[in-house]
């Protein structure tokens, strides 16, 4: 169901881009917007792993450095039929984890010291299984494609607003009232693209939860881990989180509430736990 939802949302995002491009920029405008967004996200796709690991001061570890963690990742990777990813530890008391890398052969998993101190080995296996599922499903690639289209839509919408305000549409007798239509449509299109991008991210989280449960061998491992991670992350917030990377973490490291919930990249913890506890292996 979540896989089909992802494809549907990607299709809607594509249609929205083509429609907005033809409406405001024509084929040329749409192509320029897409090339700009694709160029930015191409760089992100190839180098985001190094950037994000450096951003959070993640330290690479070997089997000699952290034998329990390294062997756990290796065993889960074998069970998931994945190459052994690089393993990193983030020196941060806030319990969390993420995966990065452009494909299974160039992947890494990172866990904070807070998560290592908080979780049991069974719970940690659920978390790492979740992250390995992101790698297996190539969620970094899917997220990059979604970001490319969303970025292109936002660019087109911005250009449309700029043109409407400064380019002019003639006086009222010549249809000058169209400026208001352009402004409204461009704002709605930008918002819709952002919401769709967030919805795609949430769908991938559900899929990763399911995969993590199967790789670890018991859905309750991850369910219990999510309860702990969510509770402790609120008590010990992750300092200096870049909002553009918040979607990578297994639980949202940013504080949220009210209308901000619409823009969350993560589904509610309660719903994730409910689904996991309802799984049968």
Collapse the DSSP code of 109 into the 3-class scheme (helix H, G, I; strand E, B; otherwise coil) and give the result. Answer: strand
Q: Stretch 196-213: mean pLDDT, rounded?
A: 86
Model confidence at 208, pLDDT cuts 50, 70, 90, reads very high
Which tens digit of pLDDT belongs to each residue from 89-135? Answer: 999 999 999 998 888 999 999 999 999 999 999 999 999 999 999 99
pLDDT value of position 3? 63
pLDDT value of position 31? 76
Residue 10 in this model has a pLDDT that exceeds 90:
no
Q: Is the pTM of this model over 0.85?
A: no
pLDDT value of position 149? 72
Which tens digit of pLDDT belongs to each residue from 233-264? Answer: 888 888 778 776 778 899 988 765 544 455 57
CB neighbour list of residue 105: distance below 8 Å, 6 or more residues apart: 83
Question: In degrees to the nearest 10, what's the CA dihedral of 86, 89, 95, 97?
Answer: -20
pLDDT value of position 127? 98
Site of tokens 């990172």: 110
**240 Rama sector, left if φ>0, alpha if ψ -120 to 50, beta otherwise:** left
Residue 175 host element (H or E): none
- In the residue annotation, 131 being an active-site residue is answered as yes
pLDDT value of position 87? 98
pLDDT value of position 44? 65
Give the C-alpha separation, 191 to 262, whole Å.
11
Name the active-site residue from 131, 174, 210, 270: 131
pLDDT value of position 119? 98
pLDDT value of position 92? 95
Which tens digit of pLDDT belongs to each residue from 57-82? Answer: 999 999 999 999 999 999 999 999 99
pLDDT value of position 263? 56
pLDDT value of position 144? 67
By percentage, how much of the chain surpasses pLDDT 90? 43
Q: Stretch 161-169: mean pLDDT, rounded?
A: 63
Residue 168 in this model has a pLDDT that exceeds 80:
no
């Amino acid at each position: 169901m979540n896989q089909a939802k992802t494809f549907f949302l990607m299709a809607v995002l594509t249609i929205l881009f083509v429609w907005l491009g033809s409406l405001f920029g024509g084929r040329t405008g749409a192509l320029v917007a897409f090339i700009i967004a694709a160029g930015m996200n191409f760089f992100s796709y190839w180098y985001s792993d190094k950037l994000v690991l450096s951003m959070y001061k993640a330290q690479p570890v070997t089997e000699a450095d952290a034998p329990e963690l390294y062997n756990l990742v290796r065993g889960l990777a074998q069970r998931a039929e994945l190459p052994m990813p690089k393993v990193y530890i983030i020196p941060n008391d806030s319990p969390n984890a993420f995966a990065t890398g452009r494909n299974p052969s160039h992947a890494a998993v990172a866990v904070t010291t807070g998560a290592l101190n908080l979780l049991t080995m069974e719970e940690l296996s659920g978390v790492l299984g979740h992250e390995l599922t992101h790698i297996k499903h190539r969620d970094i690639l899917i997220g990059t494609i979604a970001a490319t289209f969303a970025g292109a839509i936002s660019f087109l919408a911005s250009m449309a607003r700029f043109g409407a305000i400064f380019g002019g549409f003639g006086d009222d007798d010549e249809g000058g009232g169209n400026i208001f239509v352009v402004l409204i449509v461009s704002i709605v299109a930008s918002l819709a693209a952002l919401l769709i991008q967030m919805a795609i991210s949430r769908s991938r989280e559900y899929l990763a939860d399911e995969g993590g449960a199967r790789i670890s061998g018991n859905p309750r491992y991850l369910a219990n881990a999510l309860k702990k991670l969510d509770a402790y992350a609120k008590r010990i917030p992750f300092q200096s989180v870049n909002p553009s990377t918040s979607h990578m973490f297994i639980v949202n490291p940013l504080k949220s509430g009210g209308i901000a919930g619409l823009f969350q990249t993560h589904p509610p913890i309660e719903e994730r736990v409910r689904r996991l506890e309802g799984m049968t292996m």
